């Protein structure tokens, strides 16, 4: 009798479920170790192994195994997204559930596809992994390409293991990273040709990477760029009052002067996303404000406020800060790249209680300021940040969007429109013309968006730079999110063969070469300025020409694998899955 009770305690489904949960938890720990801030990049080779093992031995129910694996994986997503609680406490939970569901989907799909034996097990595991990863990163909910398996490889020595991204993007790096774990998990189930082919692929990966990381990139005339890290405590929920705008402008003005005095002088000064302390910036909208005589009424609440009133008076023209910025740029004589908003058909109308700004569209925009004037060349952000600037799918129904915002992120308002076309901004220096591709904030983590911008440079005769302006104030005190944002953005350098300037309000601002390697950075959550010399380049990589073809191939292969597996299962009996009792 005691033997029977002991046997019952381990009978399905208890043991397979516990095993699936434990392996999911192992995956969580390994991903935490592989990614920032720990950054033990070799752990990425091991990270998918626990999920591969669950998929090959799911027990009597792949669906149940996937569910328990999802619970084990959830701590990783909680750990990596805890900062969101400061923006939307209610939004953390559905996001964690959504991201964890991919583990469930992987176990269920990979289990069915490998049991059908339509393709060798190791190849099936890699394809399903990369297909789901790319679907999450580029397709579902307009894409969230963070925390990908291949991401840590950019921190390999000399970024030597990052080079395949110049051929097929980060998805190709993820596929190569997953191969060793797939071979180990499915040992004995792969043909000789696959094992030999995998060995060759891994050997080429390493063999090419070492010389690639040491080869000098094609040099052009260098350009010197200075960045201003303002460290204004601003996120997209905080109402930036006129008094705060004036106070912050005092600090920004000093930082701009400091950047201009860098030796040797920079050819360009870059400000962060949306940090011009005015209500408008495009020339037409500024004209409307001046004609209407719009003023800010200052009501001091502290001694610091009173000092500002002593300087500016109680009635300050709404264009005062912009006018001072333009005058300062003219005085220093250095072009400035600044972030603000732009409007289509701005109208300032009376609503009975005061004045209201109406418009046909409002954009998140980067401008070039030269000669004390706002230039006509500008870039309007194409890809709005999902759940930060737009609710994918949901924003099509404004009433539903407002209802959800009132529940999950009270105080936020999504009023931006996406830009209409990819555009670069020409900068004329003593060395000649340089075209600036300026992905804004989250866009720098989207390979497809940045590639569209860079291809405007590829089609021109002038070399170019990637300049990522971002706020990152919404990470609060979580530097983990800032480091991940920076790491994700650096991959665009590898994919396109171009250096990047990164200017972030609260950090991390810095400079990165065409291999994605860090040249210099400023510490997060600290104000400061930094300057460096970069060599502009043309995006001449295979990825720049062909795009994210490995990702689309893997996404397309998943339904084919499932159909083939179903056909084989219908045609012949399938032996019980190993581990089923």
Note the helical H segments in 367-498: 398-408, 447-458, 479-496
Neighbours of 192 (CB within 10 A): 7
Whole-number pLDDT of residue 46:
98
Q: Which residues contact 403 (CB under 8 A, 6 or more apart)?
A: none
3-state secondary structure of 104: helix
d(CA 273, CA 507): 12
pLDDT of residue 441: 94
- The percent of the chain in helix, strand and coil, each rounded to the nearest 5, is 50, 15, 35
Burial of 242-251, coded b for 16+ CB within 10 Å and e otherwise, reads: bbbbbbbbee
Peptide bond into 37 cis (omega under 30): yes
Distance CA 579, CA 576 (A): 8
For residue 544, is the peptide bond before it cis, meaning its omega torsion is within 30 degrees of 0? no
pLDDT, position 238: 56
Strand, helix or coil for residue 435: strand
Q: In terms of C-beta distances under 8 Å and separation of at least 24 residues, what long-range contacts does 314-321 make, across chains too? A: 316/242, 316/246, 317/289, 317/290, 317/293, 318/278, 318/279, 318/280, 318/289, 318/294, 319/278, 319/280, 319/286, 319/289, 319/290, 319/294, 320/296, 321/245, 321/246, 321/249, 321/276, 321/277, 321/278
| 3 state DSSP class of 346 | coil
pLDDT at 220: 63
How is residue 577 annotated by DSSP? P
Crossing angle of the two packed helices 89-115 and 398-408, in degrees rounded to 10: 110
Angle between helices 14-34 and 49-56 (to 10 degrees): 160
pTM of the model: 0.91
> In the prediction, which pLDDT does 412 show?
66
Beta carbons within 8 Å of 434's beta carbon, 6+ residues apart: 223, 426, 427, 428, 462, 463, 464, 465, 536
Taken in order of first residue, the domains within the chain and their CATH numbers are 2-215+546-571 (no CATH), 230-383+418-536 (3.60.110.10), 384-417 (no CATH)
- Cβ count near 332 (within 10 Å): 16
DSSP 479-520: HHHHHHHHHHHHHHHHHHT--EEEEETTS--EEE-TTS-EEE
Q: Which residues of 480-509 are buried (b: 16+ CB within 10 A; e: fewer)?
A: bbbbbbbbbbbbbbbbbbbbbbbbbbbbbb
Q: Which helix (DSSP H) or strand (DSSP E) does residue 470 occupy?
A: strand 464-470
Judge whether 469 and 438 are in contact, CB under 8 Å.
Answer: yes
Helices 479-496 + 447-458 axis angle, to 10: 40
Q: Are 445 and 488 in contact (CB under 8 A)?
A: yes
Q: From CA 401, how far away is CA 395, in angstroms rounded?
A: 5
The CA distance from 216 to 164, in Å, is 17
Q: Which of 132, 107, 82 is nearest to 21 (CA)?
A: 107
- Looking at residue 234, its pLDDT comes to 62
- In the prediction, which pLDDT does 414 show? 78
CA distances, 161 to each of 156, 174, 501, 570 (Å): 6, 11, 22, 42
Instruction: Report d(CA 571, CA 450) in Å as an integer.
Output: 46
Low-confidence ranges of the chain (pLDDT < 70): 1-14, 217-220, 234-239, 401, 405-406, 408-412, 570-581
Q: How far apart are CA 27 and CA 43, in angstroms?
A: 10
**DSSP-derived secondary structure for 212-273:** HHHSPPPP---EEEEEEE------TTS---HHHHHHHHHHHHHHHHHHHT-SSPPSEEE--T
Q: Answer whether 439's CB lies under 8 Å from 449's CB.
A: yes
């Amino acid at each position: 009798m005691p033997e029977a009770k002991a046997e019952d305690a381990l009978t399905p489904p208890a043991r397979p479920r516990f095993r699936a949960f434990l392996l999911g938890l192992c995956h969580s720990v390994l991903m935490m170790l592989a990614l920032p801030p720990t950054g033990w990049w070799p752990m990425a080779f091991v990270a998918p192994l626990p999920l591969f093992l669950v998929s090959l031995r799911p027990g009597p129910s792949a669906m149940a195994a996937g569910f328990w694996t999802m619970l084990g994986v959830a701590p990783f997503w909680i750990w990596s997204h805890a900062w969101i609680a400061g923006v939307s406490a209610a939004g953390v939970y559905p996001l964690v559930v959504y991201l964890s569901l991919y583990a469930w989907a992987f176990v269920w799909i990979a289990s069915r596809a490998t049991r059908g034996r339509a393709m060798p097990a190791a190849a099936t595991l890699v394809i399903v992994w990369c297909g789901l990863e790319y679907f999450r990163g580029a397709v579902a909910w307009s894409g969230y390409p963070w925390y990908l398996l291949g991401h840590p490889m950019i921190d390999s020595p000399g970024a030597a293991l990052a080079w395949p991204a110049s051929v097929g993007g980060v998805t190709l790096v993820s596929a190569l990273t997953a191969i060793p774990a797939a071979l180990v998990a499915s040992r004995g189930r792969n043909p000789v040709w696959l094992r030999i082919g995998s060995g060759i692929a891994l050997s080429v990966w390493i063999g090419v990477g070492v010389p690639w990381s040491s080869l000098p990139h094609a040099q052009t005339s260098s350009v010197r760029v200075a960045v201003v890290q303002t460290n204004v405590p601003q996120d997209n929920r905080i109402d930036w009052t006129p008094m705060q705008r004036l106070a912050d402008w005092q600090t920004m003005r000093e930082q701009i002067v400091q950047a201009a005095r860098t030796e040797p002088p920079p050819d360009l000064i870059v400000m962060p996303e949306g940090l011009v302390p005015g209500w408008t910036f495009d020339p037409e909208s500024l004209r409307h404000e001046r004609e209407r005589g719009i003023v800010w009424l200052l009501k001091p609440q502290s001694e610091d406020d009173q000092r500002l009133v002593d300087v500016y008076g109680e009635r300050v023209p709404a264009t005062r800060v912009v006018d001072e910025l333009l005058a300062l740029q003219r005085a220093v004589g250095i072009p400035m790249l600044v972030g603000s908003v732009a409007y289509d058909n701005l109208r300032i109308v009376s609503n009975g209680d005061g004045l209201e700004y109406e418009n046909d569209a409002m954009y998140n925009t980067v401008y070039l300021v030269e000669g004390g004037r706002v230039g006509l060349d500008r870039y309007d952000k194409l890809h709005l940040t999902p759940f930060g600037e737009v609710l994918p799918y949901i924003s099509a129904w404004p009433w539903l969007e407002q209802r959800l915002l009132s529940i999950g992120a009270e105080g936020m308002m999504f009023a931006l429109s996406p830009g209409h076309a990819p555009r670069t901004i020409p900068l004329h220096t003593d060395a000649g013309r340089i075209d600036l591709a300026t992905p804004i904030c989250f866009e720098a983590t989207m390979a497809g968006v940045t590639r569209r911008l860079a291809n405007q440079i590829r089609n021109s005769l002038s070399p170019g730079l990637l300049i990522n302006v971002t706020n990152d104030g919404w990470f609060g005190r979580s530097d983990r999110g800032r480091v991940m944002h920076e790491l994700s953005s650096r991959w665009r350098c590898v994919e396109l063969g171009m250096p990047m300037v990164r200017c972030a309000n609260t950090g991390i601002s810095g400079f990165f070469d065409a291999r994605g390697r860090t040249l210099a950075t400023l510490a997060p959550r600290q104000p400061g300025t930094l300057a460096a010399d970069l060599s502009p380049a043309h995006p001449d990589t295979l990825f720049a020409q062909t795009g994210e073809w490995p990702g689309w191939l893997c996404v397309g292969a998943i339904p084919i694998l499932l159909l083939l597996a179903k056909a084989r299962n219908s045609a012949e009996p399938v032996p019980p899955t190993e581990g089923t009792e």
